[in-house]
Amino acid sequence: MTATVNPTGREIVEKYKQEIREAVIRAVRSTKSCVLFYRDIYDELEKLFDDREVFRQVENALWESLDGLRLGDFTIHKIYVDADESFNEVVVVDFGNRLNDRQLDILREVASLFNTEFYDRYSEAEYMFYDATPLFNRDRYEIYTTLHNLARMWLGCDWLFDDEGDEEES
């Protein structure tokens, strides 16, 4: 009798590396940002698999190895972990490994504002801040915009947003 050996998460990621890579690039292109909510990658990955069981295995393996995952010419860094919902977690896709530890720390610090117990928004109509604490973390768009602009400045990944570029980068 032969025992069935279940592949590890790393083996699954390695086996489906091209599909994962394609999903990440599609997510970056569709959001026009190198800063992504995990749900952006999840949605693109889900589109690539007809078999739901295979999708679940790949998604779980990806989730387990997401932080620091190197996929060819880019690395994924988790910069925000949501205590309630993994879909709201935030990653930055570092093309060419340009981000240094200090920059990653800054991104993580800014992203930590998603989870603060206080949250103010600026009212352009009243020229003042108001308490917007009841907003869900995912609705704190100013934080996401700041993360995007920092990553864009440091990474220069605008070339990915060119609609005329190749759909699949090697």
pTM greater than the 0.85 cutoff: no
3-state SS assignment for residue 79: strand
CA angle in degrees (0–180, nearest 5) for 57-161-19: 20
Q: How many angstroms separate the Cα of 147 from the Cα of each of 37, 107, 140, 150? A: 11, 6, 12, 5
Strands (E), 96-169: 120-123, 128-131
pLDDT at 94: 94
Q: Which comes out higher in pLDDT, residue 78 or 2? A: 78
Residues with Cβ within 8 Å of 43's Cβ and at least 6 positions away in sequence, in order, are 27
Residue 104 identity: L
Element (H, E) at 26: helix 17-31
Q: Which of 19-23, 150-154, 164-168 has the lowest mean pLDDT?
A: 164-168
Q: Are strands 35-37 and 128-131 parallel, antiparallel or unpaired?
A: unpaired
Write out pLDDT tens, residues 84-111: 767 678 999 998 878 999 999 999 999 9
- The length of the chain in residues reads 170
3-state SS, residue 168: coil
Q: Which of 15-19, 80-84, 108-112 has the lowest mean pLDDT?
A: 80-84
